[in-house]
Amino acid sequence: MIQLNGFTKVVGILGWPVEHTLSPVMHGIAFSNLNLNWTYIPLPLPPERVKDAVRSLHTLNFVGANVTVPHKQAIMRYLDEIDPTAQNIGAVNTILLKGGKSYGYNTDGYGILRALLEVGFEPQGARCLMLGAGGASRAAVYSLAAAGASTIAVYNRTVERAAFLVDDLRLAFPHITFSFEALTPETLTAVNHHCDLVVNTTSLGMFPHEETTPWPEDVPLPENAVICDLVYNPLKTKFLQQAETAGLRGVDGVGMLIYQGAEAFRIWTGHEAPAALMRQAVLAELATRQKMMIMHEM
């Protein structure tokens, strides 16, 4: 445990709400492990205060911050410079303050790609189906496109949002075949089964709605596809249970969480993050929270 003092460097997470964030646990263990006199704190920020946030971080001498829902896009206009990846994704999840200036990055795409590579998924030439078209989907689609995917289909409840995402990325990756559809039982029934990866980037399945899934139970999942869920609470979502029943390889959302955090850690501190240790800490914290919820329900 780091003893805070006048030399402690401070980072945090800007979000609304941020009560349930796991990032302080994950970064806290990393700072401790590397014996860095740093700390990480949740910073609840209502949407109407976003415009003041970057200036406030400067004033209070923060080294940087993570940015989460709903500020990843809104924060961009208050930063001095935005890295090209974040610019292409259209969202910032990591801020670095240095030399009086603010720099925006997006490490979410890196996070999902590392999590997929870790289980042996090969993005080069892959045919990918993304369920959802929000911020996480943007980062995932961008990183899969940049890693050489051959086709990417985006299905979303609000089809216009899927169209918007695909139109944006078509410009950046003209050689990739993009398509979009409404996310409905009918369109999923008609999915071409020559698909290597299906990613749930919607919030379906997330606590407290664990009984929900983006994929209807009576529709078969694409044969041989890797099934990835970005939701990590619960760890084994209903969608991942469907994958298991179908005998398909499943990837949970913790990998993305850890690796986007590890990359932010590297940007702030210049050190490689102890990713395995961060994972252990996150899994332990999730298990504790699960236990507390069960006790609360009893």
Ligand X SMILES: NC(=O)c1ccc[n+]([C@@H]2O[C@H](COP(=O)([O-])OP(=O)(O)OC[C@H]3O[C@@H](n4cnc5c(N)ncnc54)[C@H](OP(=O)(O)O)[C@@H]3O)[C@@H](O)[C@H]2O)c1
Binding footprint of ligand X on the chain (CB under 6 A) = 69, 108, 111, 132-137, 156-158, 161, 183, 201-204, 206, 230-232, 253, 256-257, 260
Q: How far is the CB of 136 from ligand X (least distance, A)?
A: 3
Report the C-alpha gap between 186 and 36 in whole angstroms: 53
State in angstroms the smallest separation of the CB of 206 from ligand X: 5
- Smaller CB separation from ligand X, 82 or 258: 258
Is 197 within 8 Å of 126 (Cβ atoms)?
yes
| Shortest distance (Å) from residue 209 CB to ligand X | 8
Calculate the dihedral angle through the C-alpha atoms of 113, 98, 56, 137, rounding to the nearest 10 degrees: -10
In 3D space, the residue among 32, 55, 37 whose CA is nearest the CA of residue 14 turns out to be: 55
Instruction: Mark whether 9 is an active-site residue.
Output: no
User: Given the complex with ligand X, which of 157 and 289 has the nearer CB atom?
Assistant: 157
Q: Which of 9, 51, 72, 98 is catalytic?
A: 72
DSSP letter, residue 221: P
Instruction: Write down the least CB distance from residue 73 to ligand X, Å.
Output: 9
Give the three-class secondary structure for 237: coil
Element (H, E) at 161: helix 159-172
**CB closer to ligand X out of 55 and 77:** 77
Residue 258 contacts residue 235 (beta carbons within 8 Å): no
Phi, psi of 179 (to 5 degrees): -150, 170
Q: In this chain, which residue has its C-beta nearest to ligand X?
A: 134
Q: Which two tokens stand for residue 29?
A: 């263990």
Q: How far apart are alpha carbons 4 and 1 in whole angstroms?
A: 9
Edge-to-edge strand list for the sheet holding 127-131: 177-182, 151-156, 127-131, 197-200, 226-229, 250-251
Q: CA nearest 123: which of 97, 105, 153, 143?
A: 143
CB of 274 to ligand X, least distance (A): 18
Q: Which is nearer to ligand X, 83 or 108 (CB)?
A: 108
Closer to ligand X by CB, 146 or 204: give it: 204
Give the position of tokens 């001498």: 61
- Within a 10 A sphere around the Cβ of 186, how many other Cβ atoms? 10
- State the minimum distance, in angstroms, from the CB of residue 214 to ligand X: 6
Instruction: Give the residue numbers annotated as catalytic, written as ranges.
Output: 72
